[in-house]
Structures are given as C-alpha cells and as structure tokens.
Amino acid sequence: MKTLLKEIRGNPLLWLLAFVPVVFGAARFKPEAHTLLFVLSVLAIVPLAALLSHATESVAAKTGDAVGGLLNATLGNLTELVIALAALRAGEYMLVKASVAGAIVTNTLFMLGASFLLGGLKHHTQEFNRVSARMQAGMLFLATIALLVPSAIVEADSGTHAEFTNKLSVGFAVLLIAAYGLGMLFSLKTHRELFGSESHGEEGEEPWPIGLALGVLAGVTVLVALVSEIFVESVQEAAVSFGMTQAFVGFIVVALVGAAAEMASAFSGARKNRLDLSVGIALGSASQIALFVAPVLVLLSYVIGPTPMNLQFWPGAVVMMLVAALTASLVTNSGRSAWFGGVLVLMVYLVFAITLYLLPPGGQATPP
C-alpha cells in the first residue's frame, strides 16, 4: 500500500485519481448533469488506465516471460474492453462498433504519428526493428481485412437477412480469436526472438510486489467498470451539448480516453529514442483490438447484450480502417522515421476527425 501511495505521489498523472470519488459522488447527487459526468468520467478513467497498465506489467514481470507476455498482451486493452462492455450491456451497439473502429484508427494513426513526430523533434532520424514492425503491420492489415471483408460484401448486398449476417459474424469471431491465439503462440513461444527488443514495460519503473499488483488489477478493473458505466450513460447527452456527433464520440473521444495510458508509454519511448517500443505498442494494440476485442464483444453480445451484435461496420468506418492499416504498412516499411512522416500520418488522422466532427448525422458515412 505504501508502494502504491509513493507511486501516486511521484506520478502527476495519477493525481487525477482524485476524480474517481468525485465522479461517483456526482453520479449519485447530480445524475442529470450529463456534461459534467462525461468530463469527470474521462478524467477518472485516464489515471485508472495507467494504474491498470502498471499492475498488468508487474504481474507479467513476476510470472515469467511466456505467461507474463500473454497477460500483458491480453490485458493491455482491458480499459477499451471494459468501456465497450458497458456500452454493450446498454445495447449501444453503434457506440461499441465506433469505439472498436476508432481504437484501431486512433492507435494506428494518432499514436504512431505522434510518436514519430515527438521522437523526430528530438532525434534527427530514428531507426526501429523493421522485421518486427513489418510483421505487426502485416498482421494488422490481414486482421483488418478479415474484419472488413464481411462488411464490404454484406454491405454491397442489400438482399441479405440480418439473421445471416449474425451467423457469419459469429463464425468470423471464432476464426479471429483462433488467429489471435496462434499469434500468441508465435510471438511468445515459437518465434519470440523476432520480437525481442519490444518490452512493454517502462525501464525506469519498478514492478510492484505480486500481491499488490493482483489487488490493484482486481480493484481498478471494478472501478473502471463502474466509471465506464457512468461514461457510457452520459456520453450521448454530453455529445449533443458539445455539438459532437455520435460517430465522433465513439471514434475519437472513447478511443483517446481508452488508450491514454498506452499513449503515455509510447510517447515516452519515442522521446527516449526507443521507437521499437512505440511502434510495438501502437500496432500491437491496434491488431489486438481487431483480432481479440472485436470478436469477443460479438460473442459476449449473445450473453449480456439485449440482441446479438454483428461485425458489420458502416462504409465510412470501413474506409478509415483500411486507410489506417495501409498507412501503417507504408510508414513502417523502411524501418526509419523522421518528424515529417509523423506530420503526414497525423494529417490523415486530422482529416478523419474533422470529417466525423462536421458530418451531419443520417448519411451513410455516419452510422445509421
């Protein structure tokens, strides 16, 4: 407990934890103040995500490389998963899909682009392990294809029944999870030497004792779940009062909030000229969401959702995910980066964000 308090004192990001009790208080006494609840829940999720990430790494460090890597990779997007689960339970499938697509696009374009830019402003050119970056970009591309092709094919086919789309989605979900499992086996067991230089942990941070780590993991997950519930309930109304479309909230706001802790690691890695770390976090998170989070949500929708959810995305999301995956392939291909590469990648993200912010709802580019 002392370690935890010391950690919190030393890390200004964690001071935001003060907002956790505030958001619960506000939710109880001012349940109709949606805009306030939205802002407070965002401020509370960010430090919780950081704690979650540190706890996962500490458990990973204790349990040995293989199991630890597995834990680290699987729990790395726990925040995104918990937020999406809250939306799933509320039956907000459009928000779930927007946040899945948005997490892929944000991790690939914003996290990667900002890492290149921040690193490039400090270092003239930066090198990273191009074999592993290519493999991850290829994995992301193929995962995106597997996720998108059904949308493209089904979208083109107005005569298809919803029942059929659902059956197809369950099949693909199982397939994607199988691919994810095999990818684990590959990167943690049979070919782990290829992924050598990308350790997920911050070098400076000391791992916590295992008891503390497990306790934080359990406790913080519950807290994230509770705050996510408030977040999901308030986000719709808050969006209206901020003049944001539903699509913008899911794609941009939820994705940025969910990935805040990972972004802190990726950017700090880039500044320290450890771009392998940044590229690994950005592309690893993105492909994990495509291969693991999205299919798990489809399968869980049968258990906890009001109706089954499928893998069909609206056309604008399909275009954005494909462009993000292609961009990742192109910019990581040479294994070198400089600041202008980051600018271009961020520009593409900005184009998407502006379009989603301005687009009037009701068209095909926005979700139905």
Site for a second copy in 339-368 (CB under 8 A): 339-341, 343-345, 347-348, 350-352, 354-355, 358-360, 362-366
Could you say which of 12, 159, 211, 243 contacts a second copy (CB under 8 A)?
159
5 vs 121, beta carbon nearer a second copy: 121
Q: Does 172 bind a second copy (CB under 8 A)?
A: yes
Residue 103 near residue 80, CB atoms below 8 Å = yes
Q: For residues 98-137, which are near a second copy according to CB under 8 A?
A: 124-125, 131, 134-135
- Minimum CB separation of residue 241 from a second copy in Å reads 21
Pick the binder of a second copy from 164, 209, 210, 241 (CB under 8 A).
164
For a second copy, the closer CB: 212 or 365: 365
Number of other residues whose CB lies within 10 A of the CB of residue 134: 16
Decide if residue 336 touches a second copy (CB under 8 A): yes
Q: Could you give the CA distance from residue 209 to residue 235 in angstroms, rounded to a whole number?
A: 37
Q: CB under 8 Å to 273, separation ≥6 — which residues?
A: 119, 122, 123, 126
We find the least distance from the C-beta atom of residue 305 to a second copy, in angstroms, to be 22
The residue ranges of DSSP E strands in the chain, in sequence order, are 126-127, 336-337
251 contact partners, CB below 8 Å, separation of at least 6: 98, 99, 101, 102, 105, 106, 317, 320, 352, 353, 356
What angle do the packed helices 294-304 and 93-105 form, to 10 degrees? 170
Of 22-30, 39-47, 146-154, 235-243, which segment contacts a second copy by CB under 8 A? 146-154
Helix (H, G, I), strand (E, B) or coil at 359: coil
Please identify which residue in 161, 204, 243, 368 interacts with a second copy, judged by CB under 8 A.
161
Q: Does 66 bind a second copy (CB under 8 A)?
A: no
Burial of 88 (0-12, 13-18, 19+ CB in 10 A): buried
Interface with a second copy includes 156 (CB under 8 A)? yes
Sole window of 83-91, 207-215, 299-307, 325-333 interacting with a second copy (rule: CB under 8 A): 325-333
Closest alpha carbon to 221 in 56, 25, 67: 56
Q: Which of 46, 103, 139, 293 binds a second copy (CB under 8 A)?
A: 139
Contact present, 72 and 281 (Cβ < 8 Å): no
Per the CB < 8 A criterion, the answer to whether 261 and 49 are in contact is yes
Name which of residues 185 to 204 contact a second copy (CB under 8 A): 186-187, 190-191, 194
Q: According to the binding rule CB under 8 A, does residue 320 interact with a second copy?
A: yes
- Residue 59 has which token pair? 């458990």
Give which of 96, 54, 109 is closest to 321, Cα–Cα: 109
Residue 333 near a second copy by CB under 8 A? yes
Dist. CA 347–CA 21, nearest whole Å:
37
Select the residue interacting with a second copy from 38, 93, 116, 141 (CB under 8 A): 141
Among 142, 177, 240, 299, binds a second copy (CB under 8 A): 142
Shortest CB 73 distance to a second copy, Å: 14
